[in-house]
């Protein structure tokens, strides 16, 4: 399956991803540029696995370890740094924002046709799962953070960014969906660096 077909399939009816096709295409190109680099592919903020499947396909390497972290209970509450719009969005969903289905990422990977990646699905809050699993993950070739809120992005950066093999923006891809995303990301990055 080529990249355009895969992205179209992942976006169809929002079964596997909430990320728009144009954005997935841009992410695909970034991930493809490091396809030969050894190390794990890590995604924080998986939902139904669409972006993870697309990026793992782009950065394909035989028997690459793929680590997928999510609560699969939706986002935590936004904090003060996220602003009023984020709070309103969260409240309008009754505190159930972006609740994914843990059975879907495996289905999304099946669509890619890749059968030899080694999937590690880790359910729980990043604050607990990332420090616990970081030593086992080791070197990271691609780190994709798609976790909406300031505190969530920050903990991902704090725990995992030191393990990114070539720690510059070409090997760190971040997309933050939702409102005032750019500002939250900038703030989280500045607080980290």
Ligand X SMILES: C[S@@+](CC[C@H](N)C(=O)[O-])C[C@H]1O[C@@H](n2cnc3c(N)ncnc32)[C@H](O)[C@@H]1O
Q: How many residues bind ligand X (CB under 6 A)?
A: 23
Of these, 7, 40, 68, 98, which contacts ligand X (CB under 6 A)? 98
Binding mask 134-173 for ligand X (x = CB under 6 A): ------------xxxx--x---------------------
For residues 108 and 43, is the Cβ–Cβ distance under 8 A? no
By beta-carbon proximity to ligand X, the closer residue of 61 and 188 is 188
By beta-carbon proximity to ligand X, the closer residue of 16 and 60 is 16
Contact between 75 and ligand X by CB under 6 A: the answer reads yes
By beta-carbon proximity to ligand X, the closer residue of 117 and 147 is 147
- Restricted to residues 1-60, the positions that interact with ligand X (CB under 6 A) are 17-19, 45-47, 50-51
For residues 43 and 189, is the Cβ–Cβ distance under 8 A? no
Burial 97-134 (b: 16+ CB within 10 A, else e): bbebebebbeebbebbebeebeeebbeeebeebbeebb
- Restricted to residues 112-131, the positions that interact with ligand X (CB under 6 A) are 125-126
How many whole angstroms separate alpha carbon 4 and alpha carbon 23?
Answer: 12
Burial 46-60 (b: 16+ CB within 10 A, else e): bbbbbbbbbbbbbbb
For residues 187 and 86, is the Cβ–Cβ distance under 8 A? no
The contact set with ligand X (CB under 6 A) reads: 17-19, 45-47, 50-51, 70-71, 74-76, 98, 100, 125-126, 146-149, 152, 177
């Amino acid at each position: 399956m080529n990249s355009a077909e895969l992205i179209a399939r992942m976006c169809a009816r929002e079964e596997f991803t909430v990320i728009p096709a144009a954005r997935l295409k841009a992410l695909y190109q970034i991930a493809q540029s490091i396809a030969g680099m050894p190390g794990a592919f890590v995604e924080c903020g998986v939902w139904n696995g669409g972006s993870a499947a697309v990026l793992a396909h782009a950065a394909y390497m035989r028997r690459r370890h793929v680590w997928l972290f999510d609560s699969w209970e939706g986002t935590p509450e936004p904090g003060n740094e996220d602003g009023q719009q984020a709070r309103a969005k969260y409240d309008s969903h009754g505190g159930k924002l972006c609740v994914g289905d843990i059975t879907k990422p495996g289905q999304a990977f099946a669509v890619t046709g890749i059968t030899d990646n080694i999937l590690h699905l880790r359910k729980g809050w990043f604050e607990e799962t990332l420090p616990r699993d970081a030593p086992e993950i080791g070197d990271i070739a691609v780190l994709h953070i798609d976790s909406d809120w300031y505190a969530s992005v920050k903990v991902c950066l704090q725990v995992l960014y030191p393990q990114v093999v070539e720690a510059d923006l070409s090997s760190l891809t971040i997309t933050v969906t939702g409102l005032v995303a750019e500002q939250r990301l900038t703030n989280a990055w500045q607080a980290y660096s």
